[in-house]
Structure 1
Amino acid sequence: MAAASLASFRRAARESVAGLPREFWWLWTSTLVNRLGAFVATFMALYLTLERGYSASFAGLVAALHGLGGVVSSLVAGVMTDRLGRRPTLMAAQASTAVAVAVLGFMEHPVAIALVALVVGMTSNASRPAVQAMMSDIVAPEDRVRAFALNFWAINLGFAVSSTAAGFVAEYSYLAGFLGEAALTLVCAVLVYVKLPESRPERSGTGAGDGAAAEEAVSLRTVLRDKRFMGVVGLSFLISLIFTQGSVGLPVAMGAGGFSAGDYGMVIAVNGVLIVLLQLPVTRFVEHRDPQRLLVVSALLAGYGFGLTAFAGSIGAYALSVCVWTLAEIINAPTQMGLVVRLSPAHGRGRYQGMYTMSWSVAALVAPLMAGYVIDRFGAEWLWGSTAVLGTAAAFGYWALMRRLATGSGTGAGDDGAAAGPPVAAPAGAGADVPVDVTP
C-alpha cells in the first residue's frame, strides 16, 4: 500500500514538471532564490514596532509608502517590459532592489526609513510584470496554469524556509536580514543575466498592415478600456487586500498580543509549508474545473479564513486560521493568473501584467493603512471582521464577472477589435475544461 502510494506520488510529480522548457526552470530558480531572501516585506512591521519602537500607525504608513512605490513602478515596468524587453527590465529591477534593501537596513531617522521604503517598493515591484510576461512567452498555452502553480510553489517554498529562518535572524540582528535579502536579490540579477535569453515576441511587421496596427494599438489606454480585464483587476485588488493582512495586520496583532517575532515566523511559515505540500496536487485536481466556482470558493475561504483570526489566542489557533486562507491562495493564484494571461494580447503582456500587478501594489498601499488605523482605533477583531466582508464581496464579484464572460457581455476594447485579448468563455459547470488560450 505504501509502495503504491509512493509510486503514485512520484508519477504525479513527474507529470507536474514534465514538458516545461529549460528557460522556465531558470526563471523558476530565480524566483526561488529571490523568495529565500524575502525579509523586508515579512518583517518590516515587526522591525518598526518592536525594534524601533514606532506605533502601528507609523508601521502602516511605511508599509503604505512601500506599496505606493509599487503602484508607480507597476505601470512603468509594464511599459518597459513591452518596449525594452523582459530581460533588461528584470535585471535592472533586481539589481536596484539589492542596493535599496541594503541601504534601508542602515536607515535610522523615520523620514529616511519612509523614503527608502518607498524606493524599495518601486524597485522590488518592477520585476513582477517582466517575470509574468516572460513566463507567458516561454510556456505553451496548455501548460500555463501548471507553470503558474509551479512558480507560486517556488515562491512559497522559499517563503517557508526564509520566514522561519528570518524570524530567528531578526531576534539576533535585523540588519543581517536586510543584508541577506540584498545579497540573494543580487544573485537573482546575475542568474537572469547569465541564463535567461530575451523572450519578447517579435512584431509581425513594421508596415501599416493590420497585424502591426493591432500590435501598436496596445497601450495603457487600451488596457483601461478593456472592461472585462479591469473587472479582474478590481477583484484582484479585493483579494490581495485580504491576503496582504498576513504580512501587515497579522504580525502587528500578534505583537500587540505579546507574541514574538519568532512566534509570528512559525505561524506564517505554515502558509509556505502547506503550499509546498499541497500546491501541486491541488492544482492537478482543479486545473480542468470550472474557474468561476474556484474563484468564488477561494474568495470565501480567504475572507472567512482571516476572519477566524479574531478568535485566535494561541499559536495553534493562529496556525489553524492560516491553514484556511492558505487553501484559498492555492486555488486562487494559478486560476486567476490563467485568466489574466488569456485576456492579455501577446504584444501587450507587459502592460496588462503591469496593470494586474498594480492591483496588488494598490492593496499593499491600502492594507497597512487599513490595518494600522483599525487596530489602533477599534482593535484587531474589527480588522478580521472586515476581511470576511471583503471576501464575500469578492466572491459575488467573481460570480458576476464569470457569468458576463460566459455570455460575451461586458467586454471592453476587445469588442471593437483593439488588442485587448481574446474572448473568454466560462465553462458551463463543474468539471468542464478550462478555456483554451487562443492569444495571438
Structure 2
Amino acid sequence: MKKLFSNYAATFSGLSREVWWLSLITLINRAGTMVIPFLSLYLTQSLGFTLSDVGLIMVFFGLGSVAGSRLGGYLTDRIGYYKVMQWSLFLTGVLFVLLQFIKTLNGFCASIFFLMMVADTFRPAMFVALSSYSKPENKTRSVTLIRLAINLGFSAGPAVGGLIITTMGYQGLFWVDGITCVMATVLLINVLNPRKARVLDEVKVENPVSVYSDKPYWIFLVAMALFGIVFLQYFSTIPLYYKEVHHLSELEIGLLLGANGFIIFLLEMPLVKSLEDSQLSKINLMLAGGVLVTLSFIVLNMTGWVGILLVGMFFMTIGEMIMFPFSNAFAMERAKKGNQGQYMSWYSISFSVAHVFGHFSGMHLIEKVGFDATWYIVFGLSLLSGVFLLILKGKTKSNTVKKVLQFDK
C-alpha cells in the first residue's frame, strides 16, 4: 500500500508551485459552480419552462461562452492573463448571485448570455497562465492537475448541491456559486501575484502565425466541437434521462455525477503519466478517448437495468480522462506558433460552440424522438468527430514528412 501511494504521489512531482496554486483556485471556483449540472432541472421544475425553452436558454448559454472565450483571448494577448482571471472570477460571483432573481424566459436568456460571457473570459487566460507556469515537458500533467481540481470540485459540488436543494431549495445554489467565485478571486490576488510568480515557459514569437492560416488546427477544432456536443449531453439531457426514465432523485443524480469527478481524482494523473510514457501520439489517444465516450451512450440503450448508468458513467469517465488532457496539450503545443491567447481562445470556443448546438439539439431531440433515438444520433456525431481526428492525423503526418524532406535538402 505504501509503495502504491508513493508511485501515485510521484506522478505529481516536478510541477511548479504556481500550477498548484492555480489548481486550488480552480478547485474553489469549480466546487461553487454546482448550479450548472442542475440548471435544466431548475428551469423545468422551479420556473416551469418547457424543454424547448430550456434548449433556447442553453443556446444563449453557449453564445455567451463563445463571446467570452473570444474576448478572453483578445484581452489576454493585450493586458495579460492575470487581470483577465481576476476580474472574470469576481464579476462571475456577483452575476451568479443576481441570476436567482431572473424569472422570465427573455430575462434568463439575456442574463445567462452575459454571465457566460464574463465567466468564460477566464478560460483562455487560465490556459495561457498554465502554459507559462509549466515546463514544456510537464504541460500535459499540469493540464491534468487542473482537471483534477475541476473534477474534485465537480465530485463535491453536485453532491453538496443536491443536499442544498433538498434543505434550502435552488436559491441556495446561486448564493454558494457567487460566494465561492469571490473566494477564488481573493485567493488569486494573495497567492498568484505576477510579480512574484515564476514564468517557466514564456513563449514570445517575433512573427506569430495567425490561427486562421493553421489548417490542421481548424480540423482539430471541428473534431473538438463535435466531441463537445456529445460530451455536453452529460450536463443537460443525461440528468433529465436519469430523472424521467430511471426516476432518480436530485441527490442520487448529484452522487452519480459526483462519482465521475471522484474517479478522475483518483485515476487520471497515473493514467495520463502512463499514457505519456507509452509514446502514443496525442491524436491516437484522443481517438481512444472518443471511442470510450461513444460507448457510454450506446450501453444506455442495451437494457433498462439501473446499474447500466454506472457502466455508462465509467466509460464516459475513462474516455474523458484521455481526451481532455491530450487535446488540451495538443492545443497548447500548437499555440507556440502564434499568439497564445488567440489559439487557446479558439480551443475554448470549440466547446462553446458545442454549448450553442449541443444543449438545444439534445433537448429538441428527446422531445421529438425520445431518449433512445437521441443516443443513436449522438453516436453518429461521435463517429464524425473521429473521422475529423483521422483526417488531422493524416495532415500532421504529411506536414512532418515535408519538414523532414526540406531539412534533408
TM-score (norm 1): 0.85
Cα distance in 2, alignment partners of residues 8 and 60 from structure 1:
49
Which residue among 283, 300, 317 is the counterpart of 2:291?
Answer: 300
Structure 2 match to 1:112: 107
1:271-306, Cα deviation, whole Å (9 max, x unpaired)? 112111211221122113312321111111112212
1:359 partner letter = S
CA shift, 1:270, in A, is: 2.0
- 388-397 or 322-331: bigger deviation: 388-397
Structure 2 match to 1:224: 212
Query: RMSD value over aligned CA atoms?
Result: 2.1
Cα distance in 1, alignment partners of residues 43 and 25 from structure 2:
29
* SS of alignment partner, residue 332 of structure 2: helix
1:223 partner letter = V
CA shift, 1:13, in A, is: 2.6
Contact 1:132 1:353 (C-alpha < 8 Å) held by counterparts:
yes
1:227-258, Cα deviation, whole Å (9 max, x unpaired)? 11111111111111111000111012223323
Contact 1:133 1:349 (C-alpha < 8 Å) held by counterparts:
yes
CA shift, 1:315, in A, is: 4.2
Q: How many residues align?
A: 396
Cα distance in 2, alignment partners of residues 47 and 21 from structure 1:
40
Q: Which runs of 5+ in 1 are unaligned?
A: 1-5, 205-210, 416-422, 425-440
Q: Which runs of 5+ in 2 are unaligned?
A: 405-409
Pick closer, same or farther for the CA change 1:202–1:307 going to 2, 3 Å: closer
- 245-254 or 392-401: bigger deviation: 392-401
Which residue among 250, 265, 270 is the counterpart of 1:276?
Answer: 265
- 302-311 or 142-151: bigger deviation: 302-311
Contact 2:15 2:134 (C-alpha < 8 Å) held by counterparts:
yes
Which residue among 76, 79, 84 is the counterpart of 1:81?
Answer: 76
Structure 2 match to 1:208: none
Alignment of 1:21 with 2:24, yes or no, is: no
> Percent of pairs identical after alignment?
24
* SS of alignment partner, residue 355 of structure 2: helix
* SS of alignment partner, residue 38 of structure 2: helix
Cα distance in 2, alignment partners of residues 307 and 48 from structure 1:
28
Structure 2 match to 1:10: 5
Structure 2 match to 1:190: 186
Contact 2:12 2:269 (C-alpha < 8 Å) held by counterparts:
no
Pick closer, same or farther for the CA change 1:72–1:395 going to 2, 3 Å: same
Structure 1 match to 2:344: 353
Alignment of 1:127 with 2:116, yes or no, is: no
* SS of alignment partner, residue 36 of structure 2: helix
Cα distance in 1, alignment partners of residues 337 and 132 from structure 2:
8
Cα distance in 1, alignment partners of residues 232 and 165 from structure 2:
21
Cα distance in 2, alignment partners of residues 187 and 23 from structure 1:
18
* SS of alignment partner, residue 33 of structure 2: coil
CA shift, 1:387, in A, is: 1.7
- 17-26 or 338-347: bigger deviation: 338-347
Pick closer, same or farther for the CA change 1:246–1:104 going to 2, 3 Å: same
Structure 2 match to 1:377: 368
* SS of alignment partner, residue 18 of structure 1: coil
Contact 2:222 2:388 (C-alpha < 8 Å) held by counterparts:
no
CA shift, 1:407, in A, is: 2.2
Cα distance in 2, alignment partners of residues 315 and 169 from structure 1:
25
Structure 2 match to 1:159: 154
* SS of alignment partner, residue 20 of structure 1: coil
CA shift, 1:347, in A, is: 6.0
Cα distance in 1, alignment partners of residues 49 and 302 from structure 2:
26
Cα distance in 1, alignment partners of residues 302 and 203 from structure 2:
55
Structure 2 match to 1:429: none
Residues 170-319 of structure 1 mapped to structure 2, 5 A cutoff: 170-172=165-167, 173-198=169-194, 212=206, 214=207, 217=208, 222-257=210-245, 258-288=247-277, 289-290=279-280, 291-311=282-302, 313=304, 315-319=306-310
1:44 partner letter = L
